[in-house]
């Protein structure tokens, strides 16, 4: 098949979102099944692209408009992008199914449009090979995220959306100024060509531009001083949207940051920016874990825990040896699986009992045994206990930090796991050993989704080698910039 068909990954969600106002005519009931169908097709296309990239070993280069880069925009679906586009599509599909249960606030048609465009934005951010196009997709992601955060229209949700929109707006402007600086001094917007010309760039300009880009993306990537919006937004947004935030929106931001920073690998500006990412990541872990410790709202607790995990991933990228990047990408995948499961299960509890407050989790083991089981497996996995997936990524991260002799990071990872153990075991204790009650019939489809994710966690935990192969290829895609540049068919436009 023509590899250009991978552009359907962008075209399909767009087309389907524009189609919703017409679908609405057929009645409110068809909208959510329609959403599920579209995300299912998207999963199919993503699976095809994934298979294509991993069997041929070559990235798919989509040339928009048929113009070669850097004149036109290209999408670069390499090993990393293929893997994450697939994850985005699968999580979106699960959440479309969950939406049928979780979304009962009007207007459903607008929800479906925003949902599809949030998925589109994250897909585009990860697939694009052009820095301004990255900005456009970041705006698509961010603006649909603002609207979805405030979707429930409670005071709490409006406040969270307001915080998010202000911080996000400032971050985007920073990012745009950084892009302008880059374009001003290099005359190109294509990522591959930027990497080629990076060494010729004035170091002061490069440092300023990179710092602006990192700060701009840190809002989306939830790094410490700029993540104040995140816990509120996670708590107040619809449950299905929270899952999407945690499973892929934040990762798209983090990926974009790492992709851009690594383009400057051989320049003097690189070390300074890496240290900035390391510091931001470390602070994110510490603040996130300590804040999670005192929460009584389980969804908020998970939000802080999720932020802390993102900090760990950022630390991995900050260490920047091949082993550390491998581990960080592995942690990204594992975290996406585990947090998708946990926010889904907690969201389901909140839908059933009205709120995700810890009170409602008393005796959950007797009332909703399957959901309780899912939360327990997720919690144990996050702490990093052997035979579960996150153990392996944390372990690899530890080894990578030891290799470069950064004992501070080792202490950070172990300390974070200890704090996690405290609040997650408290939750598990509440679920299984307190309270009690009647058993409640659990939704069959949601149970199947939860069991699938649980199975995935345990399979990766027991046989990490199978996925490790994929992860290594994806991570190589990130840090092997020379290969990235070589794969993009640049037109002979040069200074």
Q: Which residues of this protein are in contact with another protein, per CB under 8 A?
A: 2, 4-5, 7, 10-11, 14-15, 17-22, 25, 62-67, 70-73, 106-107, 110-111, 113-114, 117, 120, 124, 132-133, 136-137, 139-140, 143-144, 146-147, 150-151, 153, 158, 161, 177, 181, 183-189, 202, 204-205, 207-209, 491, 493-495
Give Cα separations from 224 to 206, 278, 310, 394, 398 (angstroms). Answer: 23, 11, 10, 20, 22
> DSSP readout, 332-395?
HHHHHHHHHHHHHHHHHHHHHHS--BGGGGTTHHHHSHHHHHHHHHHHHHHHT-TTSHHHHHHH
- Give the other-Cβ count within 10 Å of 148's Cβ: 26
Closest CB 35 distance from another protein, rounded Å: 14
Closest CB 453 distance from another protein, rounded Å: 29
Which tokens in the block code for residue 141? Answer: 């992601």
Q: How far is Cα 88 from Cα 105, in angstroms, rounded to an integer?
A: 24
Q: How far is Cα 474 from Cα 45, in angstroms, rounded to an integer?
A: 19
Q: How far is Cα 182 from Cα 207, in angstroms, rounded to an integer?
A: 10
**Looking at beta carbons only, is 106 or 359 nearer to another protein?**
106
Closest CB 178 distance from another protein, rounded Å: 10
**Looking at beta carbons only, is 61 or 400 nearer to another protein?**
61
Terminal Cα-to-Cα distance of the chain (whole angstroms): 36
Closest CB 54 distance from another protein, rounded Å: 23
**Looking at beta carbons only, is 21 or 408 nearer to another protein?**
21
**Looking at beta carbons only, is 199 or 204 nearer to another protein?**
204
**Looking at beta carbons only, is 21 or 436 nearer to another protein?**
21
Closest CB 67 distance from another protein, rounded Å: 5
**Looking at beta carbons only, is 124 or 384 nearer to another protein?**
124
**Looking at beta carbons only, is 201 or 350 nearer to another protein?**
201
Closest CB 37 distance from another protein, rounded Å: 17
Closest CB 207 distance from another protein, rounded Å: 8
- 61 - beta bridge partners? 76
Do the beta carbons of residue 308 and residue 289 sit within 8 Å? yes
SS3 (DSSP) at 293 = coil
Which tokens in the block code for residue 434? Answer: 């307190």
Q: Which of 467, 464, 466, 477 is nearest to 57 (CA)?
A: 477
Closest CB 144 distance from another protein, rounded Å: 5
Which tokens in the block code for residue 237? Answer: 């947004």
Do the beta carbons of residue 218 and residue 257 sit within 8 Å? yes
**Looking at beta carbons only, is 140 or 368 nearer to another protein?**
140
Closest CB 200 distance from another protein, rounded Å: 11
489 φ, ψ (degrees, to nearest 5) = -75, 80
167: CB partners within 8 A, 6+ apart: 219, 226, 228, 229
Do the beta carbons of residue 153 and residue 162 sit within 8 Å? no
- Give the other-Cβ count within 10 Å of 172's Cβ: 19
Q: How far is Cα 462 from Cα 474, in angstroms, rounded to an integer?
A: 21
**Looking at beta carbons only, is 256 or 375 nearer to another protein?**
256
Closest CB 58 distance from another protein, rounded Å: 18
Residue owning tokens 């802390």: 308
Q: Which of 177, 169, 159 is nearest to 226 (CA)?
A: 169
**Looking at beta carbons only, is 111 or 361 nearer to another protein?**
111
């Amino acid at each position: 098949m023509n590899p250009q068909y991978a552009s359907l990954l962008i075209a399909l969600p767009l087309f389907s979102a524009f189609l919703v106002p017409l679908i609405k005519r057929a009645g409110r009931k068809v909208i959510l099944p329609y959403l599920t169908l579209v995300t299912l097709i998207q999963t199919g296309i993503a699976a095809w692209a994934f298979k294509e990239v991993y069997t041929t070993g070559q990235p798919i280069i989509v040339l928009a408009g048929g113009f070669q880069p850097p004149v036109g925009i290209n999408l670069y679906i390499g090993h990393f992008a293929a893997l994450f586009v697939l994850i985005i599509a699968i999580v979106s599909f699960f959440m479309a199914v969950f939406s049928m249960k979780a979304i009962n606030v009007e207007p459903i048609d607008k929800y479906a449009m925003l949902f599809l465009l949030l998925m589109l934005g994250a897909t585009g951010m990860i697939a694009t090979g052009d820095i301004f196009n990255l900005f456009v997709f970041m705006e698509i992601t961010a603006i649909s995220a603002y609207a979805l955060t405030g979707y429930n229209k409670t005071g709490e949700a409006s406040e969270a959306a307001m915080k998010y929109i202000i911080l996000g707006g400032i971050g985007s402007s920073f990012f745009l100024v950084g892009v302008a600086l880059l374009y001003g001094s290099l005359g190109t917007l294509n990522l591959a060509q930027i990497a080629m010309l990076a060494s010729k760039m004035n170091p002061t300009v490069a440092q300023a531009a990179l710092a602006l880009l990192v700060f701009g993306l840190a809002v989306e990537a939830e790094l410490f001083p700029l993540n104040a919006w995140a816990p509120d937004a996670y708590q107040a947004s619809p449950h299905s949207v929270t899952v999407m935030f945690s499973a892929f929106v934040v990762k798209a931001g983090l990926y974009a940051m790492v992709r851009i920073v690594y383009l400057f690998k051989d320049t003097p500006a690189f070390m300074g920016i890496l240290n900035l990412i390391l510091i931001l990541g470390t602070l994110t872990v510490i603040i996130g874990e300590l804040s999670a410790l005192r929460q009584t709202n389980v969804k908020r607790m998970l939000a802080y825990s999720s932020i802390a995990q993102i900090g760990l991933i950022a630390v991995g990228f900050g260490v920047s040896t091949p082993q550390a990047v491998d581990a960080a990408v592995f942690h990204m995948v594992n975290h996406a699986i585990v947090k998708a499961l946990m926010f889904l299960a907690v969201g389901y509890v909140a839908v059933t009992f009205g709120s995700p407050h810890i009170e409602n989790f008393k005796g959950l083991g007797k009332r909703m045994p399957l959901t309780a089981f899912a939360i327990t497996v997720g919690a144990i996995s996050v702490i990093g206990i052997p035979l579960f997936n996150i153990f392996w990524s944390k372990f690899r991260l530890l080894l990578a930090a030891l290799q470069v002799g950064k004992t501070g990071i080792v202490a950070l990872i172990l300390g974070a796991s200890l704090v996690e153990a405290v609040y997650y075991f408290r939750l598990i204790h509440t679920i299984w050993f307190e309270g009690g009650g009647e058993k409640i019939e659990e939704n069959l489809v949601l149970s199947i989704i939860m069991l699938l994710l649980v199975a995935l966690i345990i399979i990766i935990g027991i046989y990490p080698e199978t996925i490790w192969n994929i992860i290594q290829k994806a991570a190589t895609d990130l840090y092997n910039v020379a290969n990235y540049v070589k794969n993009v068919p640049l037109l002979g436009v040069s200074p």
